[in-house]
Amino acid sequence: MTGRTDEQTVRVRPRNPETDGLVPDPVASSLLQPWEVWGQERFDLEMTRVFARSWLLLGDLEDLQEPGDFITAAIGHQPVVVIRQADGSIRGFLNNCRHRASGLAFEPAGNCGKTLTCLYHNWTYSIDGLLVGIPDRQRMYPDGIPTESYGLVPIRVAVGWEKIVFGCLSYKAPSFEEWVAPIMDRWSRYNIQNMSRFDRQLDPVYGINWKVFAENVNDDLHVRFVHNRLNSIRDQLDIQIFQDKRTSRGYKPLND
């Protein structure tokens, strides 16, 4: 997607009969198509194929000091909650009640004490995920209910660099250690474990498709136009940044 005309793949949206009669797609070309960035169907697929199968950064141990301290986050479309346990470990769960799937914890971070209680019908879970309370249990479930089968659904969690909390929804994904191995040496040089967070603004949500952000970070071509006040101090306009021998940033005219 560099604008070069060799090695072109014509990017054509799969036909969807629901859109027949609407304004037609742009003429197919090798350049990025609007639907590739904005299409909901593709976005939903990415949330599962990319995000749900990856180890994602969820938060910071600074918010998980005492038993009952929790942080909330999302992995793809799925809300999750990570809680500091009484034994000092941390555990993560889907942030959904097993009764009618309501969310459980809504604050970006906090302390829930020894239990998490769903606001909807007050099912209560201990911080290790067990279902420990059902209001009107005899009347609601006269034949009994196997509470051991209705605990919170666990997810994989790991702590990187003694500080940063990661989570993963996939049990097929590699271990966290394998996942970060390619960047471990470089990141370890920063001594992240000794850093304190300066800005405690938690969970900002930006109303953009993640691909717009990723595209922009990788797009140096726009800098000379959008940030043109920098032009006088830039040495040249065709800088390439390499990371592990690969081009890290691009989208500019190349000399090759």
Chain residues in the site for ligand FES (CB under 6 A): 97, 99-100, 102, 118, 120-123
CB of 95 to ligand FES, least distance (A): 11
18 burial level (CB within 10 Å; 0-12, 13-18, 19+)? exposed
CB of 111 to ligand FES, least distance (A): 20
CB of 140 to ligand FES, least distance (A): 10
Identify which of residues 70 and 123 has a Cβ nearer to ligand FES in the complex.
123
Record the tokens describing residue 174, joined without a space: 């590699």
127 burial level (CB within 10 Å; 0-12, 13-18, 19+)? buried
Identify which of residues 64 and 118 has a Cβ nearer to ligand FES in the complex.
118
Identify which of residues 26 and 154 has a Cβ nearer to ligand FES in the complex.
154
- Nearest-angstrom CA–CA distance, 86 and 105: 18
CB of 152 to ligand FES, least distance (A): 11
CB of 99 to ligand FES, least distance (A): 3
Identify which of residues 35 and 123 has a Cβ nearer to ligand FES in the complex.
123
CB of 108 to ligand FES, least distance (A): 21
Neighbouring C-alpha atoms within 13 Å toward the C-beta of 6: 1
CB of 103 to ligand FES, least distance (A): 9
- Nearest-angstrom CA–CA distance, 151 and 225: 54
Query: Which of 166, 161, 163 has its CA nearest to residue 187?
Result: 161
- Nearest-angstrom CA–CA distance, 76 and 95: 13
Identify which of residues 120 and 190 has a Cβ nearer to ligand FES in the complex.
120
Q: Is 183 left (phi over 0), alpha (psi -120 to 50) or beta?
A: alpha
Identify which of residues 82 and 131 has a Cβ nearer to ligand FES in the complex.
131
Alpha helices in 81-142 (DSSP H): 137-140
Query: Which of 74, 47, 52, 55 has its CA nearest to residue 182?
Result: 55
Identify which of residues 90 and 104 has a Cβ nearer to ligand FES in the complex.
104
